[in-house]
Amino acid sequence: MTMNNPRAILSVWNKESLVPFAKSLVDLGWTIISTGGTSRELRNSGIEIIELSEYTKHPEIFDGRVKTLHPAIHGGILARKSNTSDMSKLVELGYSSIDLVCVNLYPFEETSSRNPPVEESELIEMIDIGGPTMIRSAAKNFEDVIVLTNPNQYQNIIDDLTEHNGYPSGITEEKRKKLALEAFERTSEYDLAISTELNRRFNNNQIPKKIKISTKEGTRLRYGENPHQPASFYPDSSQYLETGLAAIDQHSGKQLSFNNYLDLDGTLRILRSLMIFCKEDRHGCVIVKHSNPSGVAVDAHQVKSWKNALLSDPESAFGCVIGFTHTVTKATAEMISEHFFECILAPDFEQDALSLLSSKKNRRIISIRELKPRIDEVKFRQIEGGWLAQIQGPPSIEWDEVKSVTDNKMDEYEIELARFGIIVISEVKSNAIILVKKTDTGFTTVGIGPGQTSRIEAVKIAARRAGKKSEKSMMISDAFFPFKDAIDLANEIGISSIVQPGGSIRDQESIDAANEHGISMIFTGKRLFLH
């Protein structure tokens, strides 16, 4: 090889397809410059290379922290071949032009996703400096430099170079622009992953001063909220491992729509919160329609959890999304099979259950690869002109500090029912009222009144949906009662206990009304609005 050949710099952490790619370049007459682990990998495979330190005539320093940050490298990458001044200066300095840069970066994203978390010192060393700098330099000078950031790109480039006898000019301007754009997208994702993780660590997971959003390629959906609206789903690219609804497998059914994703999201949030509440031998079932739960149940038997969740509001459950905390059994699938639903979400399905549920072609049967208990996270919402951010997670009631404010007191079983109900109501649109009840082997909603401008109206809706099941049930409110009228209505429908945050200037009127009716009531001290 001579330095008159086309030159490529290869410096990669991920060595997938590296050797055949490098061998193809050499066979096409290219000179390869490499460093560190990449050069060792290539030499061990019998591929002749030039060590980068030999090329720059400068050793690596600081345990490899500085190796490619040298003018011989960046001058060779950034020199414009159409600019006579650039090329003259390159010759004057004794440098050579670089025709291809192949770099993938230190695995910061992978390292930051480890559980348990790595020490800060280890994480910091996974911040690549030279790699992104070379990528950006090459992408900036895309007219003269081919920039590769992913092993998936290698074969296509080799095919084009082979077709043109190895000459870099064989790579069209259109393809160079595409590669440059992909390169800038990669460095942008990388920087975002670093800033996101360090913000979490340095800022103690508080709301950041600025937000930066980066996604992987979007997936077109059937349509948006309405058929005339185009829509897509974009997975978060700041996470090394796909999580949530980016980590699902659809086993059957039509393409998902925008509304499907919204309902699946609401279902998943409740499932993740139920995992905190549920013991291993308890099954949680969630039914969601138009972003609101219509029924939620926890039971020792999965079949019963489905039955009770459905009985909460069978009318609203028509065309719903169903979710389970555990693998769906054949027995459960047999119960669900005749019900009309849009999607069902679970960690897994028994094979017989999957076959049965998939028998109707339009049903979307979806498994989620990892169902983890919910934690506090920064969540964003776009509005006109900007973004809102808040910490969101499972309802964090300090149950040891909950105040019993009535003459009648709740026993430990009622408190456990209240804990179940609080999980549910935290995901019901405000103003929200729910009615919950103990069953022989678990807990269930019996009536849900979501999204009302009037709290008393929410009580009426929950009562209507519960019917006779409201007798001896518990009423839970996501905010305080401004007047005692809701307490009086609760008495009329047979409510035995009430859970609310308190905080109204008329709290005493509500307490007096509850005492008058013999209803027990607790104040949690925490409002649970969801808009």
Q: Which residue type sits at 393? A: G
CA angle 514/520/523 to nearest 5° reads 90
Please name the amino acid found at residue 399. Answer: W
CATH of segment(s) 245-368: 3.40.140.20
Given 290, 330, 339, 460, the catalytic residue: 290
| CATH fold of 398-523 | Cytidine Deaminase; domain 2 (3.40.140)
Domain limits of the chain? Answer: 7-202, 245-368, 398-523
- Statement: 7-202 belongs to CATH 3.40.50.1380: yes
Tokens, residue 213: 């959003």
Whole-model pTM: value is: 0.83
Distance CA 123, CA 110 (A): 10
Question: In 3-state terms, what secondary structure has residue 48?
Answer: coil
Q: What is the 3-state secondary structure (H, E, C) of 1-24?
A: CCCCCCEEEEEECCCCCHHHHHHH
What is the rounded radius of gyration, in angstroms, for the C-alpha atoms of the chain?
Answer: 30
pLDDT value, residue 211: 81
**Which residues of the chain are modeled with pLDDT < 50?**
1-3
- The H or E element that residue 378 is part of is strand 377-383
- Residue 173 in 3-state DSSP? helix
Q: Do the Cβ atoms of 56 and 95 come closer than 8 Å?
A: no
Has 164 been annotated as catalytic?
Answer: no
User: Shortest CA distance to 365 belongs to which of 285, 254, 250?
Assistant: 250
pLDDT value at position 13? 93
Phi, psi (5° rounding) for residue 284?
Answer: -105, 140
Q: Which of 15, 23, 58, 140 is catalytic?
A: 140
pLDDT in the model for residue 495: 97
429 catalytically annotated: no
Please count the other Cβ atoms lying within 10 Å of the Cβ belonging to residue 455: 23
User: Which residues are CB-neighbours of 312 under 8 A, at least 6 positions away?
Assistant: 287, 294, 295, 296, 297, 444, 445, 446, 447, 448, 465
pLDDT of residue 205: 65
Q: Of the candidates 375, 428, 372, 418, which has an alpha carbon nearest to the alpha carbon of residue 397? A: 418
Q: Give the type of residue at 295.
A: G
Same fold across 7-202 and 245-368: no
